[in-house]
Structure 1
Amino acid sequence: MRSVVERLVAPFAVDRRVLALAGARMADGIGNSFLIIVIPLYVTSGVVGGTAFGLGESLLIGVILSLFGFLNSSFQPFTGRLSDRLGRRKPFILVGLAGLAMTNVAYVFAETYLSLLVIRGLQGVSVAFIIPSSVALVNELATTGDRGGNMGVYNTFRLIGFGAGPAVAGAVVSRGPYALPGDLAVSGFDAAFYVATITATISYGMVTVLVSDPESTAANAGADLSIPILDRTGPNLLDPIFTLGVASFFMATAIALFATIQPQVNARLEQGATWFGLQFAGFIIAQVALQTPIGRACDRYGRRPFIVTGMALLIPTTLVQGFLLSSALMFVARLFQGIAAAMVFAPSLALAGDLAGEGESGSKLSVLTMAFGYGIAVGPLSSGALVRFGFETPFVFGTALAVLGTILVYTQVEETLETTVPVPVIGDD
């Protein structure tokens, strides 16, 4: 069995535990992204009722979906720091996956809007146990020379799961009910919730069997876990990890603007839901294709060049979305926006991992994952509020954030690799 696993791992050139963890995150990502599609349909289906707190359906859906992101991001610094204190990663991941599985099946019994809010909130807390501990574990299983590649592989698998879920969620719901033996039937909604439960359970099993904490994690528990804002030792004003967190928040906000203005996008471009789905997927396609090669490249050429270039590329690819009138060009813009994000995400995690001392990975890297999560939650709310002032307004706002983020990383973040290979210039001998 071990030889089989090693042969599977070989093409990715990562620790087998990293690949197993990446596979587990892919599985739970499928189930969790299922709910992004299913919950709005569930709210509008008439299956649930009760008080809506005076909110319209659209706003209620936004609150339910955003609650996950806000709680998830808010709890990450605490779970990341606690995992550092205890010197354990795997138990935190398992607690989170167990919570995710139980809350997924709880949707089957939800009959009120309040119960949906509670369940989605608990899911956010559950995932807060998973993300910082997973990223910290990947960081600790890597070395300076392969940290970017490890982060790239991990993020690639996670994004495959995130992208695959929405692609089939609608079909699972629409094709229900499903007949079972004994004249029983399962509705399309219940089937979707069961699928999400099964994927979380599969992830739990994979982590239990295939993932273990490195000995150094426990040995270095209880290190200095403070998160400074100012750079206390380097030449710059701001701490580089804090700076990367701010830039990650700006980037995530900019890329998430597109998600909640589907009606306005479709009306402006005179397109249907299929084109919007392709445009939304274009971002994920670029991420899946480029996370691993960019991660490995930043191990060779340095972290900072990719981060600065990616943030700079985010500026025009965000701005142009507010002025395009072609569905095909919007797809291209989203694709290049995905390229920009891929150039930032894995190298940023690798750079922060380089700077994190022994036993600090959970605390330090949670700054980036927390900031990214907040951005993903703030982006849709921002676009929903700003689009009333003109279609281009949300994208101008996102562009301004991208400009600020570019300035910050260019001026406040230094390279962490001691030796890098110069990027070849075409025409050089």
Structure 2
Amino acid sequence: MNTCNLQKNVFPEFFGNINHELYVLSFSRFCEDLGSGMLVALIPLYISDLGASFFSGLPLVTRAGLVITVFGLFSALTQPLMGRLSDRLDRRRPFILFGLIGYTFFSFLYSQVTSYEQLLFIRLLQGITVGATIPAVIAMVTHISTSETRGKAVGVYTTIRGVGFGLGPVVGGAIARYWGFDAGFYFCALLGVVSLGLVTFFVKETRGSPEPVSRKISGKKSYASVYSLAGAMLMMMVGIMMVVALLPEYEVRLEASELSLGVAVSAYIFARLLFQAPLGSLSDRIGRKKLIVGGLFLSAPLVVGMGYIASVGQLIIFRAFQGLLVAAIDTPAMALAADLSDGSSLSSRLSIITTAQAAGMAFGPIFGGFLAGYMTFVTPFYACALLMLLAGFVVIKKVEEPEKVI
């Protein structure tokens, strides 16, 4: 079978001047991200039905934050190691397959746990396997794009796979409500099998180097820019993920069902999906730094407002606006980090950004859970807003955007 012909026949040209291989890779991840989105909604609510021994004294929101934190933490620790190994071996596909096998196996194991501690350990192991895939996938996207189309390519990729992640909380909430949590975990494992098959048969290995960035930016300044972008991504993910740990509290405060909270989670994701590709394309034309700074500054008051939400409808609206602003930060930042990378260290450089994202996923829930559980409910929202403002000023001061190489 000729994969290139298959891509041309299946995927139309309406996405513009993007390599067709990008769509094969994106759709191969759709199913896995649908399951991952389901787990984001299922796990914090599932722990309410589990007994605990060692962690029994912690508030429910803190336990919810901790179980999400271990996933993000061990994913973050894994990514730089796997990024460097991927660069050294010049291979990416094996890392993706390994991660999908782990995702599938551990998704099934969630249905077999009998205590909170068991679930916590399985979530830790799943974070390690999923973390192995992330630098490899982003490197693949970079290999099949150019500096003139990279923002759009990253936006298209994250939009396609993000549709699955956006549907996940709604699907997971519905399955949990009508068929139970175990059925949700079985379905996540099935989605992992499908995704594994798609990668095995339709995704090819990629090799190549992006164009060199302007020589006006030295290696030292380039790394400073990437680390500053990573700080912005960290703050962004803290603001997003701390809300997940607060879902049990929102459930009580707003008298909300699992399904309505799943819709609220998905509102953020779908708004982000809607604007990722357009804002990525806009960053290709006007520059990436402007969008990143604007997104950070506008996110600060929005995060504060989420601490005073009085209905599920308000939560859905706020999360939708949050998705729009995250699209203005995430896609341009990833594209800019790729612009600042050289071919020999692409996965390693990009892993700095993806590690910051994973660290935000890890720190955000425990950040929100502890501050809300031991201080006041609105405390984490104010603290996160201040950190976002600080990140915006750091990006203004430290990030240098390379000139286009003609």
**Which interval holds the TM-score relative to the shorter structure?**
0.7 to 0.9
2:256 paired residue among 254, 272, 288: 272
Percent of aligned pairs with the same amino acid: 33
User: Which residue pairs with 1:303 in the alignment?
Assistant: 288
2:233 paired residue among 220, 223, 248: 248
Q: How does 1:334-413 map to 2 (within 5 A)?
A: 334-387=319-372, 388-413=374-399
1:15 paired residue among 16, 19, 22: 19
2:154 is aligned with 1:151: yes
Q: 2: distance between equivalents of 1:161 and 1:104?
A: 16
2:7 paired residue among 5, 8, 28: 5
Q: Does the 8 Å CA contact 2:68/2:365 hold for their aligned counterparts?
A: no
Task: Write the letter of the residue equivalent to 1:6.
Answer: K
Q: 2: distance between equivalents of 1:169 and 1:278?
A: 10
Gaps of 5+ in 2: 211-216
Please state how far the C-alpha of 1:111 moved relative to its aligned partner.
Answer: 3.7
Structure holding more helix per residue = 2
Deviates more, 1:143-152 or 1:252-261: 252-261
Deviation track 1:50-69 (CA, whole Å, cap 9, x = no partner) reads 74444447244433222111
Deviation track 1:271-317 (CA, whole Å, cap 9, x = no partner) reads 53466544433321210100111111211222112112212221222
Q: How does 1:297-336 map to 2 (within 5 A)?
A: 297-323=282-308, 325=310, 328-336=313-321
Q: Does the 8 Å CA contact 1:231/1:239 hold for their aligned counterparts?
A: no
Q: How does 1:8-407 map to 2 (within 5 A)?
A: 8-13=11-16, 14-45=18-49, 51-56=53-58, 58=60, 59-176=62-179, 188-216=180-208, 233-234=220-221, 239-262=224-247, 264-265=249-250, 272-273=256-257, 276-323=261-308, 325=310, 328-387=313-372, 388-407=374-393
Q: Does the 8 Å CA contact 1:310/1:341 hold for their aligned counterparts?
A: yes
Please state how far the C-alpha of 1:259 moved relative to its aligned partner.
Answer: 2.3
Task: Write the letter of the residue equivalent to 1:101.
Answer: T
For CA contacts below 8 A with separation 6 or more, give which structure has more relative contact order: 2
Please state how far the C-alpha of 1:204 moved relative to its aligned partner.
Answer: 1.3
Q: Does the 8 Å CA contact 2:235/2:387 hold for their aligned counterparts?
A: yes
Q: 1: distance between equivalents of 2:6 and 2:31?
A: 20
Please state how far the C-alpha of 1:253 moved relative to its aligned partner.
Answer: 1.0
Deviation track 1:370-424 (CA, whole Å, cap 9, x = no partner) reads 111111221222222223533432211111011111101111112224289xxxx
Deviation track 1:104-143 (CA, whole Å, cap 9, x = no partner) reads 2233443444432332111101101111110111111111
- SS at the partner of 2:245? coil
User: Which residue pairs with 1:226 in the alignment?
Assistant: none
User: Which residue pairs with 1:223 in the alignment?
Assistant: none
Q: 1: distance between equivalents of 2:63 and 2:220?
A: 46
Deviation track 1:212-231 (CA, whole Å, cap 9, x = no partner) reads 223437x9xxxxxxxxxx97
Please state how far the C-alpha of 1:257 moved relative to its aligned partner.
Answer: 2.8
Q: Does the 8 Å CA contact 1:349/1:368 hold for their aligned counterparts?
A: yes
Task: Write the letter of the residue equivalent to 1:367.
Answer: I
The Cα RMSD (Å) is: 2.9
Q: Check 1:38–1:326 CA distance in 2 against 1; reply closer, same or farther (3 A cut).
A: closer
Q: Check 1:197–1:54 CA distance in 2 against 1; reply closer, same or farther (3 A cut).
A: same
Please state how far the C-alpha of 1:102 moved relative to its aligned partner.
Answer: 1.8
Deviation track 1:353-384 (CA, whole Å, cap 9, x = no partner) reads 01110132211111111111111221222222
Q: 1: distance between equivalents of 2:88 and 2:381?
A: 41
Please state how far the C-alpha of 1:320 moved relative to its aligned partner.
Answer: 2.7
Q: 1: distance between equivalents of 2:15 and 2:311?
A: 38
Q: Check 1:232–1:263 CA distance in 2 against 1; reply closer, same or farther (3 A cut).
A: same
Task: Write the letter of the residue equivalent to 1:197.
Answer: A
Task: Write the letter of the residue equivalent to 2:7.
Answer: V
Given the two structures, how large is their TM-score scaled by the length of structure 1? 0.83
Q: 2: distance between equivalents of 1:380 and 1:400?
A: 17
User: Which residue pairs with 2:214 in the alignment?
Assistant: none
Q: Does the 8 Å CA contact 1:9/1:15 hold for their aligned counterparts?
A: no
Instruction: Decide which structure has the larger Cα Rg and report it.
Output: 1
Aligned length: 394
Q: 2: distance between equivalents of 1:308 and 1:146?
A: 21
- SS at the partner of 1:214? coil
Q: Does the 8 Å CA contact 2:338/2:346 hold for their aligned counterparts?
A: yes
Deviates more, 1:255-264 or 1:351-360: 255-264
Q: 2: distance between equivalents of 1:304 and 1:38?
A: 36
